[in-house]
Structure 1
């Protein structure tokens, strides 16, 4: 048998950072653990900003995240919200991902930073996303023709996610 040659991995190019302010006016919605073993949640997006080498603008109020919390404590995110670039272009961001903190259980997890634990992410938390962007033809349509990965962290007011284009 021939020795397998491992191909070079794809590269990553920094694209933008999105800072989300989460809507804590009514708290985060969260169900009990269901018979499926999952709990479900919702938290709205109150706004924010985004910036990168080729684009910058505001996160519009509205949209939100509908996470599924597995019995092992892993949060599976499914978020949708709208960005508005400085030139007025609107961009829909559909973000899916995982947040893994093995120290947390379903009952110990919180979607409101600072309520049950400090907002600063502990070491060992895995918070990664796979976003898809939808945008009209024009100067920002490169967002819809590339694959991206994101690395996230909680902040005092929400989430900060850094996105990288896969080359």
Structure 2
């Protein structure tokens, strides 16, 4: 028998975003690039600020399934820098996804938005981020993405 999989809330990343840039239809969908320009990290074991560089690179498939890959970093309150690579998908009713694209509010419970963040850091205190798997539930707002990160135990 293998160990049971459980998760535990770890922290929340709120990533502030800038205007979307589109590279257009690349044949397999529409490529979008969304700059990450700041934000914060809040939790029991990790607190800090999202650094003002990085981006979310997305492909919107013809059925509105959005594949995303965000790359950015945050700095903890005690000075450690943590690199983040976060891959996932966002999917829901087309009319609601269109509202999100226009920056209109949508109840996050109506959109499936899940990711698998990976972390890298040389800071010994935060090595545990590299020694565990994490999953996240996220919500897109007009000016930010809120990501609740859970540690797989």
TM score, norm. by length of structure 1: 0.83
Q: Distance in 2 between matches of 1:91 and 1:117?
A: 29
Match of 1:132 among 81, 97, 118: 118
Among 16, 24, 28, the residue aligned to 1:21:
16
Deviates more, 1:119-128 or 1:150-159: 119-128
**How far apart in 2 are the matches of 1:138 and 1:33?**
43
CA RMSD of aligned residues (A): 2.2
Q: Which residue matches 1:31?
A: 23
What residue number does 2:130 align with? Answer: 144
Q: Which has the larger radius of gyration?
A: 1
Cα shift readout 1:127-165 (whole Å, capped 9, x = no counterpart)? 000010001141111001000000001234210000000
The unaligned stretches of length 5 or more in structure 1 are none
Q: Which residues of structure 2 form unaligned runs of 5+? A: none
CA distance in 2, matches of 1:72, 1:29: 20
> Partners in 2 of 1:9 and 1:30 — Cα distance?
42
Q: How far is the alpha carbon of 1:83 from its aligned partner? A: 0.6
> Does structure 1 residue 55 correspond to structure 2 residue 46?
yes
Give the secondary-structure state (helix, strand or coil) at the position aligned to 2:129. Answer: helix
Q: Which has the higher helix share?
A: 2
In 2, distance between residues paired with 1:105 and 1:69?
14
- Per the normalisation by structure 2, the TM-score is 0.90
Tell me the equivalent position of 2:32. Answer: 41
User: By percentage of residues, which structure has more strand?
Assistant: 2
* Per-residue deviation, 1:101: 1.5
Determine the C-alpha separation between the residues in 2 that align with 1:149 and 1:73: 22
Moved more, 138-147 or 153-162: 153-162
| Distance in 2 separating the partners of 1:166 and 1:11 | 6
3-state DSSP of counterpart to 2:52: coil
In 2 relative to 1, CA 122–19 (structure 1 residues): closer, same or farther, beyond 3 Å?
Answer: closer
| Secondary structure, counterpart of 1:63 in structure 2 | strand
